[in-house]
């Protein structure tokens, strides 16, 4: 017989029952599902599903290339590993998307600070792969620049939004100085592709924040001068640009990527029936778009491009009525980060851009990069969360169309 006495709470002590706790969690999930951009989430999951199929197609090529006499990798080695990383990436995505807008901003700034600190350590503690020192090994090898991407966009948006508090704050000088510092650290690796991507995000946010045309022109001039200096000072960048302008050779990896992309025609050769992918380096990462072309066809390649365009359109629709300047800038910066990297990768595969060593986000195989992309999308979903029952009284993003700088003025009056 159970002789234990029932628990009697002390005076003033609150008891939270498990039923009440579970009810609270269910309510939070309902609110999250109501406020989240479900269309954007669906587009992202669809791209990740395409990515799983693409990595399954590319895995045999990379597994055979990396196999040795002593160790033979199974053909689907990278596919099964990719599914594990995708699961972690989705968990990260969902977790970040449940944050409030303020907490997403705080997390983004903290991630930016931590990743920037690790980026400073790369020249000292980093490990070199294929002539570039971009990775740090802390039990798991990762690129700090991958995690800096979402944090950088949010940090810049946060700093630029300070103009609403005090128009005299030198926010342009601060974000330009931060961009210059990050660019120097990236070029020490060297990593010209990431530098261009970060520069693109910086330019988009500066443009949307209402900076005058004269200042933007001056900044463009500085950027062109910096790119020109890069060509003359960095052999790796010069060699890749020269190879691109010269058209490459039959043994050039960009030329191989284009040949692989076109080998399948419109409908593709079929899953695991591609042959050219076997000679393609980094088939599961940098050149996975070419593998999609060979095995699934150009029609599927066009569908992948359409999905990225749909993500841009969906985020713009979401931001069109946004009345919070930080949210508008952060959302625009994050989607620029994701889709900008995607189109650089696609242009490289089409031999329309010099080789940059960039993966195709949400599609390519990756470990820490998959987690970083999941974090980026999760923060984007958190920042664009909206109560569907609230009406918007400001025209949001549309204010940048009629007059320069109207965005800051209108949002500032709110």
pTM for this one? 0.83
- 137: helix, strand or coil: strand
From CA 26, how far away is CA 32, in angstroms rounded?
10
According to the model, what pLDDT value does residue 406 have?
A: 44
Could you tell me which residues come within 8 angstroms of residue 30 by beta carbon, excluding any fewer than 6 positions away? none
From CA 198, how far away is CA 252, in angstroms rounded?
27
- pLDDT tens for the chain, 414 residues long, are 455 555 555 555 555 555 665 667 777 788 888 888 999 999 999 999 999 999 999 998 888 888 877 788 888 999 999 999 999 999 999 999 999 899 999 999 999 999 999 999 888 777 776 666 777 877 777 888 899 999 999 999 999 988 878 778 888 889 989 998 998 888 888 788 888 899 999 999 988 887 667 777 777 777 777 767 766 666 666 666 666 565 554 446 777 888 888 888 888 888 888 888 888 888 888 889 999 998 999 999 999 999 999 999 999 988 887 788 899 999 999 999 999 999 999 988 888 777 777 889 999 998 888 999 999 999 999 999 876 665 554 455 555 444 444 444 444 444
Residue count of the chain, please give it: 414
My answer on whether omega of the bond before 190 falls inside 30° of 0, hence cis, is yes
- Check: CB of residue 268 under 8 Å from CB of residue 297: yes
* Token pair of 129 as six digits: 């792969």
From CA 368, how far away is CA 366, in angstroms rounded?
6
Bridge partners (DSSP) listed for residue 141: 137
- Sheet of 141-142, strand order: 127-129, 132-137, 141-142
- Check: CB of residue 136 under 8 Å from CB of residue 127: yes
Nearest 5°: CA angle at 406, between 402 and 408? 150
Q: Of 161, 186, 165, nearest to 175 (Cα)?
A: 161
From CA 202, how far away is CA 337, in angstroms rounded?
10
Nearest 5°: CA angle at 103, between 199 and 40? 65
Q: Of 102, 112, 169, nearest to 408 (Cα)?
A: 169
From CA 318, how far away is CA 329, in angstroms rounded?
12
From CA 137, how far away is CA 30, in angstroms rounded?
40
From CA 254, how far away is CA 348, in angstroms rounded?
7
Could you tell me which residues come within 8 angstroms of residue 175 by beta carbon, excluding any fewer than 6 positions away? 156, 159, 160, 202, 205, 206
Q: Of 189, 114, 203, nearest to 150 (Cα)?
A: 114
Phi, psi of 142 (to 5 degrees): -150, 160
From CA 256, how far away is CA 105, in angstroms rounded?
42
Burial letters for 114-135: b for 16+ Cβ neighbours within 10 Å, e otherwise? ebbebbeebeeebeeeeeebbb
From CA 102, how far away is CA 382, in angstroms rounded?
9
Run of H or E including 312 = helix 298-319
- Check: CB of residue 108 under 8 Å from CB of residue 329: no
From CA 157, how far away is CA 38, in angstroms rounded?
24
From CA 203, how far away is CA 176, in angstroms rounded?
9
According to the model, what pLDDT value does residue 133 have?
A: 73
According to the model, what pLDDT value does residue 349 have?
A: 86
């Amino acid at each position: 017989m159970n002789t234990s006495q029932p628990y009697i709470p002390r005076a003033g002590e609150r008891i939270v029952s498990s039923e009440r706790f579970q009810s609270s969690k269910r309510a939070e999930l309902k609110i999250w599902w109501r406020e989240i951009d479900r269309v954007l989430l669906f587009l992202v999951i669809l791209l990740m599903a395409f990515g799983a199929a693409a990595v399954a197609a590319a895995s045999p090529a990379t597994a055979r290339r990396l196999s040795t006499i002593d160790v033979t990798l199974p053909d689907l080695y990278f596919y099964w590993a990719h599914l594990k990383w995708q699961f972690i990436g989705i968990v990260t995505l969902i977790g970040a998307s449940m944050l409030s807008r303020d907490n997403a901003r705080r997390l983004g700034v903290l991630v930016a600070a931590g990743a920037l600190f690790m980026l400073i350590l790369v020249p000292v503690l980093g490990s070199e792969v294929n002539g570039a020192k971009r990775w740090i090994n802390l039990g798991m090898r990762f690129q700090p620049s991958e995690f800096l991407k979402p944090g950088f966009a949010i940090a810049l948006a946060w700093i630029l939004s300070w103009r609403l508090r005090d128009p005299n704050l030198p926010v342009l000088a601060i974000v330009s100085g931060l961009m210059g510092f990050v660019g120097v650290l990236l070029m020490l690796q060297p990593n010209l592709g990431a530098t261009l991507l970060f520069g693109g995000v910086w330019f988009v946010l500066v443009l949307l924040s209402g900076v005058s045309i004269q200042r933007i022109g001056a900044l463009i001039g500085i950027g062109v001068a910096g790119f020109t200096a890069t060509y003359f000072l960095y052999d790796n960048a010069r060699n890749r640009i020269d190879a691109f302008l010269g058209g490459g050779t039959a043994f050039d990896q960009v030329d191989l990527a284009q040949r692989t992309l076109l080998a399948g025609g419109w409908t593709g050769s079929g899953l695991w029936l591609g042959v050219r992918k076997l000679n393609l380096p980094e088939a599961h990462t940098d050149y996975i778009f070419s593998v999609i072309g060979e095995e699934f066809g150009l029609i599927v390649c066009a569908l992948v491009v359409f999905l990225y365009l749909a993500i841009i359109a969906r985020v713009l629709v979401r931001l069109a009525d946004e009345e919070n300047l930080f949210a508008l800038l952060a959302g625009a910066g994050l989607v620029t980060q994701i889709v900008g990297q995607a189109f650089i990768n696609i242009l490289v595969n089409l031999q329309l851009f010099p080789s940059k060593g960039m993966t195709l986000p949400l599609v390519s195989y990756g470990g820490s990069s998959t987690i970083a992309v999941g974090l980026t999308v999760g923060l984007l979903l958190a920042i664009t969360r909206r109560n569907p029952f609230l009406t918007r009284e400001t025209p949001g993003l549309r204010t940048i169309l009629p007059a320069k700088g109207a965005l800051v003025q209108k949002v500032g009056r709110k």
